[in-house]
A and B are shown apart, each in its own frame.
Chain A
Amino acid sequence: MTNPSIETNHTSPIHGDVVIRTENVSIYYGSFQAVRNVFLDIPKNRVVAFIGPSGCGKSTLLRCYNRLNDLIPGARVEGKITYQGVDLYDPKVDPVEVRRRIGMVFQRPNPFPKSIYENIAFGARVNGFKGDLDELVERSLRGAALWDEVKDKLKESGLSLSGGQQQRLCIARAIAIEPEVILMDEPCSALDPISTLRVEDLINELKQQFTIIIVTHNMQQASRVADYTAFFNAEAGETGSRFGYLVEYAPTEQIFNAPQQQATQDYVSGRFG
């Protein structure tokens, strides 16, 4: 809202509360520009899907929302990302605190080599949780639709679970720290169709409580779970290196049925490239 000309160029499709505001964000790895000039508002208690071809910077942008890119040497963010009005990249902001409020589920299930119970309890412990751990573990596992399958073997290693169960364990782990936003980077890409559907059901339930951003390569999945969809594309820049940018951001129905851009139309109908 600071710059009226930007406002007119990037009309936000969002109605209601905005949790995360992305204002003219470009992301670099060293001198390589991976993402260029993104404007994107994330609405509260909704599911937003990021779609687009491989390498267009979806994961890169996602990792900026919880400052996980800080771990990558050379990664740099330009522009402004605000979370509930606070600039996430303000030097006064503690990235650890950011990650406690904006949780993440990764593309590959990555449970810790600890017991199922400890996997869930870990986040609570490091966050100084004072309440009833047993209760929290049960609640989180129920929330991730995993409780019935593991309730008799909480002491067993998280790695002993199947891939689909591991991913739900990671989701349980993420909701156990009670974040306000959950970032999911292709959470179903390593899962079978049945586990995928269960995770999607879960996402639909979770949005009562959380704001969710999900990266996916699966169009049906985006149309099933997302309220809004952002389509990203990659293009060769002046120097020849490819950068990613946001092409179109609209209610999911519109992206799939009446996209405004030809590139979006081509991508969602599978006529891409």
Chain B
Amino acid sequence: MTSPPITAHQTENLIDSSQKFNPTRLVDRIFKVLSLLLALSIGFVLLWITYSLLGIAFPAIAQFNLGFLTSQAWDPVQDLYGALPQIYGTIVSSIIALLFAVPLGVGVAIFLSENFLPQKILTPIAFLVELLAAIPSVVYGMWGIFVFIPFILPVLQFIHQLFGWIPLFSTSPSTRQMFATAMVLAIMILPTIIAISRDTMVSLSPALRQGAYGLGATRWETITRVLVPAGLSGIIGSVMLALGRALGETMAAAMLIGNANRINVSLFAPASTISALIANQFGEASGLQRSALFYQALILMIITLIVNMLAEVIVSRFQQVE
């Protein structure tokens, strides 16, 4: 079959149709403009926030400069402020939370993705995990105060008695403290790690699994040597996202950590985090104190930004090579 030659008339039609009124094309164009506007507005909001943070923080920045980062002072009477205890508390509580949440979360994710259990049991478990993410953080805080800390305190007491000679466990466990807060944070970030890691593992091609089993790998070898490396970028992504949440978590930390404006080597002593400090003091702060709080907020933003950038770098590196 030969196709009929294209006549001039037909080509004209081709050109015409693009200039004629066409509702689909119009919707298409409106959609394009709309999404551009939305994208721009997000960027604008981000700039706006940064700009106003900088503006209000400026008096504190001018007064304390970078010395703010290394000072332990927080004295509204003499108007002397520093952020070191909060930076320390924010980072240390997040790291401890990760130490608990990463092994547990990745383990659960693998368990949920590898049909160790029949689907009938897996689906409700996965659903429960996602419910865990839906609990408001103030509820975690109340639960921490009334249930979790009283529950965990005897265990910490025991650790203190056994390992009190290690500086990290050297004080008698307080009812408001870094370590227990970090454990609650760990529970809060678990669903993030589990859900994203599990999605990553589930989306891995079944051909990989078959390939590994087909070469005589055991299930353990298949998981640890093939599936986890193959899903590593997703797993790292989930950890970084969880870290971001732990760093910024406000309510639970403010309720549980004890808000002590000093660094104590012992994890069982009260401590402070940036967001907890802000939440606690913002109401009655004014003048230089408020400015210093904004300076703290700026620092938190920068820490989170660094974590996110690191995540991007790590994820893209793993996607390239491994």
* CB-defined contacts of A113 to chain B, threshold 8 Å: 208, 229-230, 322
> Known contacts A73-B115, A122-B215; is A112 also within 8 Å of B230 by CB?
yes
Cross-interface CB contact of A123 among B115, B205, B216, B322, cutoff 8 Å: B216
* CB-defined contacts of A71 to chain B, threshold 8 Å: 209-210, 213
- Whether A157 and B216, one on each chain, are in contact in the complex, defined by CB atoms closer than 8 angstroms, is no
Stretch at the interface among B37-45, B75-83, B217-225, B238-246: B217-225
Please measure, in the bound complex, the distance between the C-alpha atom of A66 and the C-alpha atom of B208, giving whole angstroms: 16
A239 to B: closest C-beta gap in Å: 26
B contact patch SS: helix
Please measure, in the bound complex, the distance between the C-alpha atom of A246 and the C-alpha atom of B60, giving whole angstroms: 85
**Tally of chain A residues near chain B (CB < 8 A):** 27
Please measure, in the bound complex, the distance between the C-alpha atom of A171 and the C-alpha atom of B211, giving whole angstroms: 11
Q: What size tier do the contact residues of chain B reach?
A: 20 to 34
- The answer to whether B226 has its CB under 8 Å from any CB of chain A is yes
- The answer to whether B92 has its CB under 8 Å from any CB of chain A is no
- Whether A114 and B229, one on each chain, are in contact in the complex, defined by CB atoms closer than 8 angstroms, is yes
- The answer to whether B129 has its CB under 8 Å from any CB of chain A is no
Stretch at the interface among A75-83, A103-111, A200-208, A226-234: A103-111
- Whether B208 and A126, one on each chain, are in contact in the complex, defined by CB atoms closer than 8 angstroms, is no
Please measure, in the bound complex, the distance between the C-alpha atom of A110 and the C-alpha atom of B214, giving whole angstroms: 11
* CB-defined contacts of B211 to chain A, threshold 8 Å: 106, 110-112, 170, 173
- Whether A106 and B218, one on each chain, are in contact in the complex, defined by CB atoms closer than 8 angstroms, is no
- The answer to whether B207 has its CB under 8 Å from any CB of chain A is yes
- Whether B214 and A99, one on each chain, are in contact in the complex, defined by CB atoms closer than 8 angstroms, is yes
> Known contacts A106-B207, A110-B205, A110-B207; is A122 also within 8 Å of B225 by CB?
yes
Closest 9 CB pairs of A and B: A100-B216, A110-B207, A104-B214, A123-B215, A99-B216, A110-B211, A126-B217, A126-B221, A113-B230
The residues of A with any CB-CB pair to B shorter than 8 Å are 66, 68, 71, 73, 96-97, 99-100, 103-104, 106, 108, 110-114, 122-123, 125-127, 157, 170, 173-174, 177
Pairs across A and B, CB under 8 Å, 10 listed: A68-B210, A104-B214, A106-B210, A112-B212, A112-B230, A122-B215, A122-B217, A123-B217, A127-B216, A174-B215
